Amino acid sequence: MFKLARATQKTQTQDEVAKQMHALGWWYQHFQFPNGLRTGNGKEPGYDAEARWKFIEPYVPSDLTGKTVLDLGGNAGFFSIQMKLRGAKKCTLVDPFLEFLKQAKFAAGQFGVKLNLVNDDAHTYCLQTEERFDYVIFLGLLYHLKYPGLVLDRLAEMTKERIFIQSDVVGHIPKDHLEKSYYIVPNEGVSLEDPLFPKLSFVENLYNSDPTNWWLPNFTALAAMVRSAGLKILSRPHPQVIIAEPERYFGKVVLKKLVFPRYAKKDGAVFPGPQVYDRSLWQDLIRRARQGESDEPI
Ligand SMILES: C[S@@+](CC[C@H](N)C(=O)[O-])C[C@H]1O[C@@H](n2cnc3c(N)ncnc32)[C@H](O)[C@@H]1O
């Protein structure tokens, strides 16, 4: 990895780093620190963040000197750190879970970089800032949002150069999606029953037993949402991954006062607001993963 050797922390022993890493709790993003230590083995309910990065990296300039980055729902900071290692001037990572922000701070320190950490919800963050960013990272978050179109529309306005999007998708994936890539757009006459008809499923509690999931697009709906936000799709290197750039700038309306609803599921965390990670919410997912029932995430 770029600049890895220079960034390696020499002052702490591997044992000291391991102790601190474990004290920070369960890690969702699995990746390797410069000292060789890994935050996890890539198995669910965590995942291999380096594998996801391989789909995105070819679309990230190797020199980001002077550029600004927003990493919404940035978790333990793996993607933000990659951008900083490429010279990004400022990288803002937003996440409502305090535990993940603590992990991000620690991880960034291991790589010798600093992140601008913001403890907020994606909706309220995007609705309260007029800041725009050269690069926006929007990975693994769309389906966790109750108002995904609202956030995506804001992100389209906030993106100056390029946005990296990943969302789980449900339903039919066209076999030839890699050759035909993103330009699989259903004909106007396509029927609702056709697997290519764009659909956004309101999953409530039915996806991965994860109470923080709300909406899941199918293959064509994810692209339709991206296009409708005024973004041009440059590439779709994986059915779940879209690389896009601003095409049509719709602008923004700044209101003096905006009242945003609090939302939750029965017995679930209430958003927006700072969250403390509740392992019990993921118990069923962890159990299923142990039994080998879960799909492999990218
Ligand atoms: C599936 S993980 C993806 C993490 C990271 N972006 C990645 O791709 O590895 C979802 C992340 O979004 C955060 N998240 C969940 N709900 C959120 C919300 N309403 N606003 C902002 N972030 C949220 C979670 O805390 C978690 O870090």
Query: What would the pLDDT profile of 94-131 be if each residue is shown by its tens digit?
Result: 999 999 999 999 999 999 999 999 999 999 999 999 99
Q: Is residue 110 part of a domain?
A: yes
Q: Which residues of the chain have pLDDT under 70?
A: 1-10, 179-183, 278-298
* Residue 143 falls inside a structural domain: yes
**Residue 296 within a domain:** no
The single residue listed with the structure tokens 């980001």 is 64
Q: Is residue 70 part of a domain?
A: yes
Nearest to 226 by CA among 293, 147, 166, 288: 166
Which residue of 27, 29, 54, 75 sits with most ligand 1 atoms within 8 Å of its CB, as the best mutation to test the pocket? 75
140 domain residue, yes or no: yes
Q: How many domains does the chain have?
A: 1
Range of the domain at 91: 4-250+260-290
Inter-residue contact 28 to 47 (CB < 8 Å) = yes
Classify residue 298: in a domain, yes or no: no
Question: What is the best residue among 141, 146, 169, 271 to mutate for testing ligand 1's pocket, by most ligand atoms within 8 Å of CB?
Answer: 141
Has residue 297 been placed in a domain?
no
Ligand 1 centre and the CA of 173: distance in Å? 24
How large is the C-alpha radius of gyration of the chain? 19
Residue 248, pLDDT score: 96
pTM strictly above 0.85: yes
CATH code, domain with 209: 3.40.50.150
Q: How far is the CA of 143 from the centre of ligand 1 (A)?
A: 9
Residue 26 lies in a domain: yes
Separation CA 97–CA 90 (nearest Å):
21
For the stretch 13-33, pLDDT in tens is: 889 999 999 999 999 999 999
